[in-house]
Amino acid sequence: MERNWAGNLEYRATRIVHPSSIDELREALSGDGPIRMLGTRHTFNDLADTAGTLIATDRLPAEVDAGSAPGVVRLSGGLRYGEVAPRLQERGLALANLASLPHISVAGAVATGTHGSGDRIGSLASAVRAVSFLTPDGEVRSLRRGDADFDGAVVHLGALGVVLALELDVEPTYDVAQTVHEAPRWDAILADLDATTSLGTSVSIFTRWSDAETADQLWVKQRLPVEADPAERRRAVVDRLGARPASVPRHPILGMPADACTAQLGEPGPWFERLPHFRLEFTPSAGEELQSEYLVPRADAVDAIEALRSLAHRIAPLLQVCEVRTVAADSLWLSPAYGTDVVCLHFTWLLDQAAVEALLPVIEAALPTTARPHWGKLFTLPADELRRRYPRFDEFAALRERFDPAGRLRNAYLERIGL
């Protein structure tokens, strides 16, 4: 019996294969039954599920090549960010951002539009400059930034093929310092949300919604050296929020030990040891949780947060923590940040799927109708509503048909969302 990371989903596959070469991968793809790809299993819905064959990418040849061209790294999609980052650091290179967990695979994060945080930083998928797929018919198909279908193929929900390799933008390595501030006031945050989210390179607000007036924590990750905004201005913003500096390292969920978290208290360190919230060598939790996330245009963000405040009494009993952070716009068809800067509303729920799924329609009805869900997390929006919120949805459906005309990569999830 195989389950996802959270333990809330049992995969229905008749077999799971772990090819260790491209030839073995082609063999796994041969035949006419349904297939899906399995990465680090950090999805909370049936996106990766199938009644046929699951192809795990964890044993495919590992490649990290940063010498082929300036400003680019070519790597195997099955690698985890926490495995790639130290190899880049050894070469004096870095990525612009990382997600809160370094434990997720590069291909899986890109395919679902997963992100880190930063007003001026795009999702992890926005760093992709080329992608190569092995399609169900055994053909290698590669697309590069600027190609006609490239923007449609990057965030692909596993509907185009197995990702053999990705090329990502890289830059010279840099350091980051992380600080945590406690008990910022919501009224002050929402009075000037832009001032709050611009306090650092990456900013996260954490709350359990047990108090609709005050958030729990404000995490600020600042790239060094600071290129703009004097320290005095940042201190003034924090003071206006009524927040106080944490005296000891904190976990995003107040009361939990911070051993698994990246270093705080302003201690500088390499980008890959500060941008994630959690350290690779630790399992950040037991996995017994559910997650949902909705990304709203910045113009609608205050209304969205106010809607959550009004539902705090219903959200809090099911919640471990809610995180608010930002992502810059991109041009990727199925990216939740397509065409607009967004504010992300992320929920880590208790492992009570029936209760969470009953609450999600209430949250979705309260949020602005511009909110887009994270593809790998729990949501209940129907296919017609998703199509309305993603202007290039039908174009992606046509692209999927060209890559997989026999529909072998389709599953219940894709059918449910209209693909």
Average pLDDT over the chain, rounded to an integer: 94
Model confidence, pTM:
0.96
- Cβ-contact 42, 103 below 8 angstroms: yes
Sorted by sequence, the CB contacts under 8 Å of residue 360 that are 6+ apart come out as: 292, 378, 379, 380
Q: What is the CA angle 286-271-127, rounded to 5?
A: 90
CATH class held by domain 64-173:
alpha beta
Q: Over the stretch 77-110, which tens digit does the pLDDT of each residue have?
A: 899 999 999 999 999 999 999 999 889 999 999 9
Q: Which of 245, 205, 201, 251 minimizes the C-alpha distance to 226?
A: 201
What is the residue whose two structure tokens read 């082609």? Answer: 26
What is the rounded distance in angstroms from the CA atom of residue 164 to the CA atom of residue 70? 21
Least confident of 283-287, 340-344, 362-366: 283-287
Is residue 181 within a helix (H) or strand (E), and if so which, with residue range? Answer: strand 175-182
Residue 228 pLDDT grade (very low, low, confident, very high; cuts 50, 70, 90): low
Q: Does the structure show a pLDDT above 90 at 353?
A: yes
- Cβ-contact 72, 129 below 8 angstroms: yes
Average of per-residue pLDDT across 309-337: 97
Q: Provide the pLDDT for residue 238.
A: 82
Boundaries of every domain in the chain: 15-56, 64-173
What is the rounded distance in angstroms from the CA atom of residue 268 to the CA atom of residue 174? 10
What is the rounded distance in angstroms from the CA atom of residue 253 to the CA atom of residue 346? 13
Structure tokens at 196: 């709050």
Residue 201 pLDDT grade (very low, low, confident, very high; cuts 50, 70, 90): very high
What is the rounded distance in angstroms from the CA atom of residue 320 to the CA atom of residue 208? 6
- Cβ-contact 255, 278 below 8 angstroms: no
